[in-house]
Amino acid sequence: MHDSEVAVLRLGHRPGRDDRMTTHIGLTARALGADRAILVGEASNAAETVTDITDRFGGPFDVTVTDAYRPILRDWEGDIVHLTMYGEPVEEVTPDIRERHRTDPLLVVVGAGKVDFEVYDHADWNVGVTNQPHSEVAALAVFLDRLFEGRELDREWVDAEREVIPQATGKRVEDC
């Protein structure tokens, strides 16, 4: 769907409290066109769920868990977008981000609780999906859809065991 990589970095995971949200960050990153998710902290349960979904419903999509985000920000060879309610409007800055992303890998950072100010400083763009407080899952979904201009909705899935066949009513899932 796209040439350069898109990775999602999930900061600030609080075990227990954030388990579902961190899982949903991984699932949303996968479903809406990112190539991989990096979960910082004790998020191995969330990573296992995302891996299980990828095994059943296809990929490619990779998820990893790491202890520290600073080396990832420091060593990232590409652009960094930090999604925050304090950032510039998504509708204004995404065309520039998309243009750069034609050649450069993109790291999309989302937080949980309070995000350290160094993340704001390190980002090439701090991007707000509205300047209202809401959810990192919602912000990620809107940002990816704007970045890919909807093309992620037509993605081909590889190595799936199961496929959902769209239905007007009811559920149909087939073995691949």
What residue has token string 């990816």? 144
Residues 60-99 that bind ligand SAM (CB under 6 A): 83-85
Site string for ligand SAM, 127-166 (x = CB under 6 A): -xxx-xxxxx--x---------------------------
Nearer to ligand SAM (CB atom), residue 132 or residue 167 = 132
Distance CA 121, CA 133 (A): 20
CA–CA distances in Å: residue 107 to residues 6, 164, 174: 6, 30, 34
Closest CA to 1 of 118, 159, 167, 155: 155
- Which window, 30-38, 52-60, 109-117, 159-167, contacts ligand SAM (CB under 6 A)? 109-117
How many other β-carbons are positioned within 10 Å of the β-carbon of residue 106? 24
User: Tokens in use for 164?
Assistant: 């959902």
How far is C-alpha 34 from the geometric centre of its chain's CA atoms?
6
Q: Quote the tokens at residue 19.
A: 């388990």
CB of 172 to ligand SAM, least distance (A): 35
Least Å from the CB of residue 87 to ligand SAM: 6
Q: Segment near ligand SAM (CB under 6 A), from 2-10, 100-108, 112-120, 151-159? A: 112-120
Binding site for ligand SAM (CB under 6 A): 83-85, 110-112, 114-115, 128-130, 132-136, 139
